[in-house]
Structure 1
Amino acid sequence: MTTRLVQVTERAPAPDTGRLALGLAGGLLLAYAGLLAAALVPTAAGLLVAAVAVAALEVAGTLRAPFVGWAAGRIGLGAQWRGLLRAVAVLTFLVRTDAPRSWFVIAVAGLLALAALRAAGAALAEVVHRARKMPVLSRGLDLGRLRVPRALPPALGRHTDTTLGCPDVALSAGAAVAVLAGSPGPLVAGAVVAAALVLAGVGALAYAAVAMRRLSRARLRAAIGKALATAAPEVAVHFGSGPDTLYQLEMWVETLERLDVSVLLILRDRETFRHLGPTTLPVLCVEHSTVLMELPLPHLRVAMYVSHAVSNLHLLRRRGVRHVFVGHGDSDKPVTTNPFLKAYDEVWVSGPAARERFAAAGIGVDPARVVEIGRPQLDEVAGRRDVSAAGHRVPGRLTVLYTPTWEGYGDEPGQTSLGAGGRELLERLLAEGDVRVLYRPHPLAGTRDPAVARAHREIVTLLGDRRVRRPASPARLAVPRDDLDVVTAPATTSRVEEVTAQAAWAGARLADRPGPPVHLVVPGPDFNLYACFAAADVLVSDVSSVITDFLAGGRPYAVTNPAGLPEEEFGVRYPSCRGGYVLGADGADGADGADGAGGAGGAGLDRLLAAGRGQADPAAAERATLRAELLGPAEPPALERMRKAVAGS
């Protein structure tokens, strides 16, 4: 006898302890208490009001604070138990009002019918959910005549318990009105209305379950396999992380669309699959390693990896493919010299500095396997930067872009300046009357250290909580209701088109305006980092790939030293600081009391601001040299070098 194991995973809603969530949770608790109290007193008007309040708060909590309902279920107060409380309230009310026995029979019959219908609905919802959970999903592939049924509307697809549970408010209301009127008619009507509403939902679920019988896992996999054979991708880009780090892949999509070979994106997480922005590239979502290894990819020559996700191993096992690590930016962070780099056939870097970094770290990467391709993303950015920045300056004012990084994975402390002195740094900048600040923190800042999260909130408050609203894409995919809906949604916008449109959109909103300086909090990763470069005169950043990318524009920058390392040690450990000015985490001069300016000598923040104002800039020459070391030569363009590397010549 063989045992079949089925892995079932549950993704919990994001924890939410904000005012709205706490208010809804408290309101729902009070509403249920009021419902039971009205049944015990008894008061018909009170029961009617409490029943309506309970239903309204159940719906509001489901839509606006899903974590509340999820958490309630985990502590034994799930939708089924709350439904039982509502039923107990109705029966208690009828008993306490000495209602005729026939009324009691009507109420019990109605409640039992509702319970049976809800059970059937829950079973059908589970059948539909499992039927739509396919082992492989695609986007941007022509699946021919394969028909994929549309997902259920969210009311039934994601909020089944609430949709099938709340109609019993009609029964509660009917009981209250029946007592007030002295007639069983309202009670019967309430029971019929409640049952009819739930029956309609169950019918829709049954129809969806029958429709899904026409689409089997085998048929979908066969259609995707046929589509892959037609697309014949020669390059696959593997991304095994979750949506929180999707920016690591997103930064490459525009460049990948510009390659002259067929490219396939392979994602390993369903939520990431849903969050990926517009692209004309075909996309696969494959969660399980066995399914990935069975994919028919006979034309695949190159597999690229943008991070060291554990699931990279599943594709690295494929023979006859050149496995290449491209990363997600060049920096002096410890993560860039991860010993796992030895697992890849080649490591593609932006410039000779990365090659030297590997040798200094002694991680065993063969220099012959390191290929310098530059930063293809910056080819187009350089052309857009001058256009978007033109006409958006206010004479006599300096725009400073502050881009602190996050805490990191704990491999080295003191990576971010936020907790160490970010607020003090911003206060120093704001004290300058001619300075405007753009604040764009790393997307993961504050996710590991509460002190960093607190510093971020303080800075947002300090800047007046003026946030640039997230940019809207000119054209998005049809809004999917679930993962399977994405399979049939056409890709109507390329990443190239979206980035171009968003660059113009962002340029207008980040532009400076006459009058008092307006400081802005710029959200990431949705808001293009390069649009921030276009609006900035100077940069203040922690050690990160942001510095390398900003170097392409040749403008002054400063690097923070949150750990307070001695200046000489800081310069040796982080060569990217040589073209800028070294600051303490709080904006004070230099490193460990030194006078603080990378390889150029100087006085930290004052020197940076002076350089931005067009005064003395002693780091300029070193910055030009460092640009060549980090990004490689300007010619040929980085995109051409990447195309050559893909071709393997």
Structure 2
Amino acid sequence: MPSAGFANRRAPKLVALIAMLIAFVAQLVGALLPVVPLFIAASVVNLGLDLYLQHKQPGLLSLLGKIRLDITVRQLIRDMLILVGLLHIQGINPLKEQAPLTIGLLVFYVAHFACQAAAVMVRRTRTLPFLTRNIDASALRLTQAPPRLLARQTGRRLLRFSVPTTLGMMVTAITRDALWGGIGLVIALVLAIGGTVYLATWLLPKKRAVNEQRALEWLDNWLAEYRPTVGMYFSGGTTSAYQANMWLSTLAELDGQPIIVLRERFMVQKIDATDIPIVCIPKVANLMRLEHSALKVLLHPANSGKTSQILRIPSIKHAFINHGESDKLSSCNPYAKAYDEVWVAGPAARDRYQLADIGVEDKDVVEVGRPQLAPIKAYEGAPKGEYTTVLYAPTWEGWDGNPGNTSVILAGENIVRELLADPKVRLVYKPHPMTGSVDPRAGAANARIQAMITEANAQRSGARPGPEAAAELEARAADLAALTTSGFRRSADELERMLVQSAPEEGRAAAVAAATAAWEQAYWASFPEWEHLIITTSRPAIFACFNQADVLISDVSSVVSDYLSSEKPYAVANTSGMTEDEFRTNFPTVRAATILTPEADGVAGLLETVRNPELDTLVQARTELKEHLLGPSDPPSLARFNAAALELYAAAEERRIRMEARLAGVPGQRDEGTEANEAQEAAEEMELDPAESTDPVRPATEPAEAAEAADAAEQGEQPTDGSEARASV
């Protein structure tokens, strides 16, 4: 099944590639023989196919770019074949008629490359050494971006501006009158030259942002004025933003001046609605400017390669807060010992770190609870409706191939089959978004499970909500979209987004939370209570699913710990190969759970206890395990979290005072570690060995060139200035 899906995905690309090859061959044959109808048809189809692929098959164009058959080369070949065809068509004078067309075409390409040069210069001037959000950055002379077609879409610009030329040449081939080709060339030249002149206006002082030095001076001044005290540091891939987003509401409630520090430019727009100032600083050399700010505490929801760079700043205390806790070894990563403190939910995580023996000292572990769990509703007893809602939320297969990571492969279909066999069960299936990303068997099992649920729904019937429910959901979705989308123009670039988001909208985060709650209520109301649901989108979120469920079935993951805050019944699938006793001993989060075998033994008994709470023998165990995993309810988790932040801030201040006293009266001395790090920082900026960091080599991570490479990749092109080596920056 996976191989069939792979073939289905590759088939359109293969067909398109063959069609383009045939068009080139047909154009060549039609030009040389000459066969005018074939020549004209092939020329038009060839250009039209390339225009189509720009929008529908960018992956194919990327492959062509890798073999240096990018858009510029393809268009040059097409135009060359057109000139060859006109040369072979009788009735067209090569000297009097075709020569001017050839010269005009050359001038068009000169204009095209001039426009491309202007685009590169504009992009460089519009690439600041940092990005901001929720900060008034008007002093940086931010302006709207130039048209996307001119500034960033090189391939589409060349193709679209070539349309008049190609059409004019084809009319010339039919009429033998070079005037039509000349008209097409004049139109193309006006577009190319006019576009270049218009684009160049962004290089004038009124439209040009400040230079790097002045921008960094502005950043220093803003930091000195805002005086951030506590922040969240985050670096990650495109799908990892949820790890930071789950902490936004908690960070906003802390005492002091909060800030969010990011490293990847794309991540600025991945962060959910918040009033907290956001600063993205890609280069480590610029990141070090935080050392001279008032920032004293940084919270880290995830580990990344770039975390080590910020850890060098001795004036800041760092706490690892993680993005979820489970009994998996990944929750006790040895990287944690690099932080000043490790903040955990409760005693269970403290014990876990000591048992893991990875170098994290017990004195550095601080129990703060899980403030994000406040929206989860508490257990209210037996299901109140006709149906028992079962949430099956398995985790993904992980990187290590451990069969106990996910139940999807060995037990998923058996569990779902048992649940679907009960006429009074409503199943909500929410698999981890990365299911199948490592092990194809997990992806295949996930697909079969969804097919089983779809088939089961087809066999059920009953009353459905009226059209007003769908209308309500649509209205709530529109309200939420109006709050969560920033309304950027298609041509908007980083600077324009900074301009649009330069000031926080007071209360916007609260409004988004209210709109999300209204959407979730409308979402659940739009389905009949008997219908099974498959949820593979980010919304509704897992906490919203918790509140709909009467019971959870999952794996050993942080989902179990979070769900346990409700004290509702839950079950965990044991696909590890251990006995039940060994399973409970090795994984504390399952000690108050019903254990399911790979054959789904135990599902029937689980449902019976959910419907009849008097049969539930694990009530007290869940209460005790909740406190062991998440800590006490009093004082509230947010209060403990805030107190931990204040204590860590005080520790940073004490260190600052000690260092100032120690260095007082010692001329030329700087804070310890600063000079020792300079060579390493410079080497990383230059991507060199530290021993070679004194060589005056051009930095290999220019943000403008990285953006240029990304734009080229979007169009299926290969960068022509060597930036392909830096495209991943």
DSSP 3-state at the match of 1:67: helix
Where does residue 441 of structure 1 map in the other structure? 431
Residue deviations 1:183-203 (CA, integer Å, cap 9, x gap): 222111111112222223323
Quick one: which of 76, 92, 96 aligns to 2:68?
Answer: 76
- Structure 2 unaligned regions, length at least 5: 1-7, 458-472, 651-729
Where does residue 165 of structure 1 map in the other structure? 159
Aligned identity (percent) is: 32
Matches within 5 A, 1:223-372: 223-295=218-290, 297-372=292-367
Does structure 2 retain, via aligned residues, the 8 Å contact 1:106–1:187?
no
C-alpha separation in 2, matches of 1:430 and 1:29: 51
Where does residue 201 of structure 2 map in the other structure? 207
C-alpha separation in 1, matches of 2:646 and 2:509: 23
Where does residue 150 of structure 1 map in the other structure? 144
DSSP 3-state at the match of 2:140: coil
How far residue 42 of structure 1 moved from its aligned partner, in angstroms, is 4.1
Paired amino acid for 1:404: P
1:409 aligns with 2:406: no
How far residue 638 of structure 1 moved from its aligned partner, in angstroms, is 0.9
Where does residue 506 of structure 1 map in the other structure? 520
How far residue 411 of structure 1 moved from its aligned partner, in angstroms, is 8.0
Where does residue 427 of structure 1 map in the other structure? 417
Rate the CA distance shift 1:556–1:121 in 2: closer, same or farther, 3 A. Answer: same
C-alpha separation in 2, matches of 1:149 and 1:23: 43
C-alpha separation in 2, matches of 1:268 and 1:18: 35
Where does residue 486 of structure 2 map in the other structure? 477
1:455 aligns with 2:445: yes
Structure showing the higher helix proportion among its residues: 2
Rate the CA distance shift 1:66–1:223 in 2: closer, same or farther, 3 A. Answer: farther
Rate the CA distance shift 1:565–1:478 in 2: closer, same or farther, 3 A. Answer: same
C-alpha separation in 2, matches of 1:550 and 1:515: 22
How far residue 405 of structure 1 moved from its aligned partner, in angstroms, is 1.5
C-alpha separation in 2, matches of 1:379 and 1:501: 18
Does structure 2 retain, via aligned residues, the 8 Å contact 1:373–1:642?
yes
Where does residue 182 of structure 2 map in the other structure? 188
Paired amino acid for 2:93: P
How far residue 323 of structure 1 moved from its aligned partner, in angstroms, is 1.2
Quick one: which of 599, 610, 633 aligns to 1:612?
Answer: 610
Where does residue 535 of structure 2 map in the other structure? 521
Rate the CA distance shift 1:209–1:66 in 2: closer, same or farther, 3 A. Answer: farther
Quick one: which of 557, 573, 580 aligns to 2:586?
Answer: 573
Rate the CA distance shift 1:37–1:397 in 2: closer, same or farther, 3 A. Answer: farther
Paired amino acid for 1:630: L
Residue deviations 1:394-427 (CA, integer Å, cap 9, x gap): 8321222222222323285531222334334323
- Structure 1 unaligned regions, length at least 5: 1-15, 590-603
How far residue 82 of structure 1 moved from its aligned partner, in angstroms, is 0.6
How far residue 250 of structure 1 moved from its aligned partner, in angstroms, is 0.9
Rate the CA distance shift 1:614–1:375 in 2: closer, same or farther, 3 A. Answer: same
Rate the CA distance shift 1:225–1:633 in 2: closer, same or farther, 3 A. Answer: same
Rate the CA distance shift 1:110–1:426 in 2: closer, same or farther, 3 A. Answer: farther
Residue deviations 1:362-416 (CA, integer Å, cap 9, x gap): 2232222211111101124449x99xx9xxx983212222222223232855312
C-alpha separation in 2, matches of 1:458 and 1:31: 41
How far residue 28 of structure 1 moved from its aligned partner, in angstroms, is 4.4
DSSP 3-state at the match of 1:357: helix
DSSP 3-state at the match of 1:242: coil
Does structure 2 retain, via aligned residues, the 8 Å contact 1:400–1:435?
yes
Report the aligned-residue RMSD. 3.0
Does structure 1 retain, via aligned residues, the 8 Å contact 2:403–2:575?
no
Matches within 5 A, 1:56-67: 56-67=48-59
Where does residue 499 of structure 2 map in the other structure? 488
C-alpha separation in 2, matches of 1:267 and 1:164: 36
C-alpha separation in 1, matches of 2:61 and 2:271: 27
1:112 aligns with 2:106: yes
TM-score of the pair, normalised by structure 2: 0.78
C-alpha separation in 2, matches of 1:518 and 1:530: 18
Rate the CA distance shift 1:450–1:30 in 2: closer, same or farther, 3 A. Answer: farther
Rate the CA distance shift 1:262–1:566 in 2: closer, same or farther, 3 A. Answer: same
Rate the CA distance shift 1:80–1:300 in 2: closer, same or farther, 3 A. Answer: same
Where does residue 538 of structure 1 map in the other structure? 551
Q: Which moved further from structure 2: 472-481 or 626-635?
A: 472-481
Q: How many equivalent pairs are there? A: 613
C-alpha separation in 2, matches of 1:428 and 1:158: 54
How far residue 516 of structure 1 moved from its aligned partner, in angstroms, is 4.8
Residue deviations 1:528-587 (CA, integer Å, cap 9, x gap): 221111222221111111111111112111112232222122112211111211223x45
Residue deviations 1:303-362 (CA, integer Å, cap 9, x gap): 111112121111111123221110011211111111222221111111111111112222
C-alpha separation in 2, matches of 1:171 and 1:359: 73
C-alpha separation in 2, matches of 1:96 and 1:461: 60
Q: Which moved further from structure 2: 401-410 or 24-33?
A: 24-33
How far residue 482 of structure 1 moved from its aligned partner, in angstroms, is 2.6
Where does residue 558 of structure 1 map in the other structure? 571
Does structure 2 retain, via aligned residues, the 8 Å contact 1:278–1:477?
no
C-alpha separation in 1, matches of 2:604 and 2:488: 49
Where does residue 598 of structure 1 map in the other structure? none
C-alpha separation in 2, matches of 1:199 and 1:224: 38
Does structure 2 retain, via aligned residues, the 8 Å contact 1:58–1:166?
no
